[in-house]
Amino acid sequence: MNVKRPGPTNLPPDESAFLEEAFKDVAPLPDHGRVLHAPRRARPLPYQTWRDEREALAESLTEPPSWDVEFGDETFFLRPGLPRQIIRHLRRGQWVIQAELDLHGMNRMEARLSLGDFLNQCLAEGLRCVRIIHGKGLGSKNREPVLKAKVRHWLARRDEVLAFCQARSVDGGSGALMVLLKA
């Protein structure tokens, strides 16, 4: 069997002859009849999903706020040691709303930064009662509120927040919170 082998291209004549002599008895392997495919590319790694999951886990491991749950979805927060009539006054709209923040259309990070800036500004101006509109989630995936639980969690972790509850229907209902801040 005389098989033509590709020879080295840039070798001096004496080395080329040496290689020809060394490989003269070498025969190609028999055809095995299989097709060799190119190796598959590795699937992309979901780094952002992993970061989000780590952050969610870290948030869930912080100490939980003291929540009191009432009828259905309506939840309120009251710092321990404060009278419950504060919630009753907030719920009835007996406090004057001095400022409001609308978080519609923001993602989680934008909303968190805006909320922090808003609360700091309110404290600097001496405002006590504010309304935070987080929305009802009608424009979200699966029509579920994304910011609703997040905003409540963030507010409960802030020391300057004394209490909050769901707003009256004329003030936004389940899409807004009435928040009482420290003086």
Q: Is the pLDDT of residue 139 over 70?
A: no
Q: For every residue of 49-90, which 3-state class applies, written as one string?
A: HHHHHHHHHHHHHCCCCCEEECCCCCEEEECCCCCCHHHHHH
- Residue 121, Cβ neighbours under 10 Å: how many? 13
Q: Which is higher by pLDDT, 103 or 66?
A: 103
The arithmetic mean of pLDDT across residues 115-134, rounded, is: 91
Alpha-carbon span 172 to 167, nearest angstrom: 6
Q: Which is higher by pLDDT, 1 or 32?
A: 32
- C-alpha distances in angstroms, 11 versus 7, 18, 23? 9, 10, 15
What's the chain's length in residues?
A: 183
> 66-181 architecture in CATH?
2-Layer Sandwich (3.30)
Domain limits, the chain: 66-181
DSSP string, the chain: -----PPPSS--HHHHHHHHHHTTT--PPPP--PPPPPPPPPPPP-HHHHHHHHHHHHHHHSPPP-EEE-STT-EEEE-TTS-THHHHHHHHT-SPP-EEEE-TT--HHHHHHHHHHHHHHHHHHT--EEEEE---STTSGGG--SHHHHHHHHHHH-TTEEEEEEPPGGGTGGGEEEEEE--
The arithmetic mean of pLDDT across residues 13-30, rounded, is: 83
Q: How confident is the model at residue 132 (pLDDT cuts 50, 70, 90)?
A: very high
Token couple for 62: 């912080």
Give me the residues paired with residue 181 across strands: 161
Q: Is the pLDDT of residue 1 over 50?
A: no
The arithmetic mean of pLDDT across residues 123-138, rounded, is: 86
